[in-house]
Amino acid sequence: MDVEPWRHFYESELNSLWALVALPALFLVYAATRGRERAARAADREARFVFAWSVAFALETIADPLATGPLARALALSDAAKQAVMLVFVLLGDFRVLLIALPLALGTAHLARAALASAGLTLVVPLAAWTTDAALRARWPALPGQVLWLVYELGFFAFALALRAAVLPRLAGGSAVPRPRVPRAILAYAAAYYALWALADVLILAGLDAGWLLRVLPNQLYYAVFVPFAFTLYFGARRP
């Protein structure tokens, strides 16, 4: 009898690949037709930026599970190389959140400044997580590897909420931003999937197979739904 059915489902290609790329692929089809028209009707720099961001990160979303899954296996990458590829996509996944939230808070007239700030801020949580994990392992060397991810998840959860509560109001206060609720909602959404990941990992560390089932939900929010959510939220807020 399979004692970890949900873990095996979670690690299956059905869940770890196909369930993650289907919606982004459909979104790209939409973006190539009606989405492009929608952005063109808006006819301003901000709308063009959001459209370009959406297409770029829909493609990145599809590339992520392909590169870290079947492509890594086909190339027989070493464990170190697999970790490096995964790290690149983890950083890109956080960068995309900041790269949509900060420009919409500052206004796209400050896009270069917002992009540089997004790149720098992307490193805050991983550096804090690795430092914290190293300190914990110095005290308790036998900690499971999952602890690093739990620390990371809790870190980005707190980081996203801090940006939402303290940083975005200051940024928006200095510019004519018509839709401050959009970047705030995007950061709240990111905090939500990181909170779910953290809860799932607590269950996994407690030895509960149900934690793997719970992990399916934040994976969908992170991979499949995030870009369509941000696109729809932004262009929906532009309605008269």
Contact 158, 125 (CB under 8 A): no
Question: What confidence score (pLDDT) does residue 39 get?
Answer: 67
CATH among 1.20.1070, 1.10.3210, 3.40.390, 1.20.81 for 5-237:
1.20.1070
Q: pTM score, two decimals?
A: 0.93
Q: Can you tell me the distance from the alpha carbon of 122 to that of 97, in angstroms, rounded to the nearest whole number?
A: 9
Other Cβ atoms less than 10 A from the Cβ of 236: the count is 10
Domains of the chain, residue spans: 5-237
Contact 177, 105 (CB under 8 A): yes
Question: What confidence score (pLDDT) does residue 3 get?
Answer: 75
Contact 50, 39 (CB under 8 A): yes
Contact 108, 45 (CB under 8 A): yes
End-to-end Cα distance, the chain:
58
Residue in the block written with tokens 């607590």: 202
- Mean pLDDT in order along the chain per 10 residues (240 residues): 87 96 96 76 81 96 96 93 96 98 86 93 97 95 93 98 85 54 94 98 96 98 98 80
* Tokens at 61, concatenated: 């979303």
